[in-house]
Structure 1
Amino acid sequence: MSNLYSALFCTFIFISSFTAYAQGSDVPVKTIPTLDVQRYLGTWYEVAKYPNWFQKKCVSNTKAVYSVRPDGNLKVLNSCKTAEGNVSEAEGVARQIGGKDSPKLEVRFAPAWLSFIPMVWGDYWIIDLDGQYQIAVVSDPRREYLWILSRSPQIDRKSYEDLLQRLQAQHYDVRKLELTTQTEAK
C-alpha cells in the first residue's frame, strides 16, 4: 500500500508542477525570514489543512514528527487515525533548499531510489511561525497546499483568528481550510 501511496504522490507532484499559481494569485508566497531547524524538530499537531487526496483517509489525530537523520536531512513521520480506527503512517525525508536557516524545504515520501527525480520532491515552505515555535503554517509556492500546525493538539481561538487574517493577507482562501479533529492529549 505504501508503494501505491508513493507512486500516486509522485504522479501528483509531476502534474502539479505544471500548474503554477493555480490559486489565482500571481503574488508570490512569502516565507518567514529564517528557520532554526533545531527548534522546529519534534512533534507538530495538524490544526487545519486544505483538503488533499493523500490525506483523504485521515479522520483525526494527524501529526508530524521531525527528527535529524544521520545524513543531516530531516526524517518526517506523518501519522493519522483512519475511519476504521487504525493508525496510518508515512515516513519521508525533508531537506532544506538554500542556506542552513532557509525556511524553504522539500519533502519526499517516495522511495529513496526515486530521489534523483525532481518531481518526487514537494515544496514545504514555512510561511508563518510564531517566535516561540509553537504555531506554524506550511504551504507551497502555488498555494495548493496549506497546513496549520501546533505543538499542542489545539490552539486558542484568538491565535487562530489572527493567523487566518495573516493568511488572507497572503492571498490564501481560508474558507477552504478544514479543521482537524485531535482527540489525543499532548
Structure 2
Amino acid sequence: MATKVMEVVKGLDLKRYMGRWYEIACFPSRFQPSDGVNTRATYTLGDDGAIRVLNETWSGGKRSFIEGTAYKADPNSDEAKLKILSRKNDMDDEIYKELVEKAKDEGYDVSKLQKTPHTNPAPEGEGPEDTKGVWWLKSLLGK
C-alpha cells in the first residue's frame, strides 16, 4: 500500500493517450488470469467525450476481453490519474528497474510485482475467443 498521496497528471491530452497500450507488469489480481500473456488495453475517444476501453489478455492460447467506458471523474478539472503502461510490448531492463525503484520510493510494496509476458510480434486481430466465459468472471470463481 502506498504511503504517499499519488500525484495526478495535469493538462492531460486525451487524444495523445488514445490507442493501444501494453501492460509491462502488474500486481496479481483476481480479475486477471494468472497465466495471462500479451495483456493490453486499447482506448478510443468517443464524440461524447467518453473513452471506450477494450482490455485483452490471452490465456491458454485464447483471447479473453472486457469492454467498458471511462469518464473523467471531474470534467471541469484538468487533472487525471493514470496507470503506467507502455506503447511497446517490451521495455528496456534498466528503465523497468528505474520505474520499479520509483514506485518503491513512493511507498509501494513492489515485492509482488510481476512482469507480464509478451510474444514478439504481438498478436494481431482478435484470435480465438475464450468461449467458457469472460476471464474476469472465471477468475472470481477460481477457474
TM category (shorter chain) comes to 0.7 to 0.9
Matched, 1:39 2:16: yes
2:30 matches 1:30: no
Give the Cα–Cα distance (whole angstroms) in 1 for the partners of residues 38 and 89 of structure 2: 8
Q: Which structure is higher in strand share?
A: 1
What's the CA shift for 1:24?
Answer: 6.6
The letter for the 2-side match of 1:87 is R
Is 2:72 the partner of 1:96? Answer: yes
Counterpart position of 1:168: 104
The Cα shift of 1:154 comes to: 0.2
1:153 pairs with 2:130: no
1:81 to 38, 42, 58: 58
The CA deviation string for residues 85-118 of structure 1, in whole angstroms up to 9 with x for no partner, is: 1100100111112246321xxxxxxxxxxxxxxx
**Unaligned ranges ≥5, structure 1:** 1-22, 104-124, 127-137, 139-147
* Bigger share in helix: 1
Q: 1:175 to 1:34 in 2, by over 3 A?
A: farther
Contact 2:8–2:79 (8 Å) recurs in 1: no
Question: In the aligned structure 2, how far is the partner of 1:154 from the partner of 1:65?
Answer: 16
Contact residue 36 and residue 101 of structure 1 kept, 8 A? no
Q: Does 2:115 match 1:179?
A: yes
**Structure 2, unaligned stretches of length 5 or more?**
123-143
Q: How big is the alpha-carbon RMSD for the aligned residues of Structure 1 and Structure 2?
A: 1.8
Alignment partners' CA distance in 2, 1:172 and 1:24: 5
Q: Deviations over 1:49-98 (max 9, x none)?
A: 01101112652010000001232110000101012x11001001111122
SS in 1 for 2:64: strand
Give the 3 Å change call, closer, same or farther, for CA 58–78 of structure 1 in structure 2.
farther
State whether residues 61 and 181 of structure 1, in contact with CA within 8 Å, keep that contact through their aligned partners in structure 2: yes
- The whole-number CA distance in structure 1 between the counterparts of 2:79 and 2:6 is 15
Which has the higher relative contact order, 1 or 2, with Cα contacts under 8 A spaced 6 or more apart? 2
**In structure 1, how many angstroms separate the alpha carbons of the residues matched to 2:73 and 2:40?**
23
With normalisation by structure 2, the TM-score equals: 0.76
1:73 partner amino acid:
A
* TM-score, reference length from structure 1: 0.60
Instruction: Give the whole-Å Cα distance in 1 for the aligned partners of 2:113 and 2:2.
Output: 17
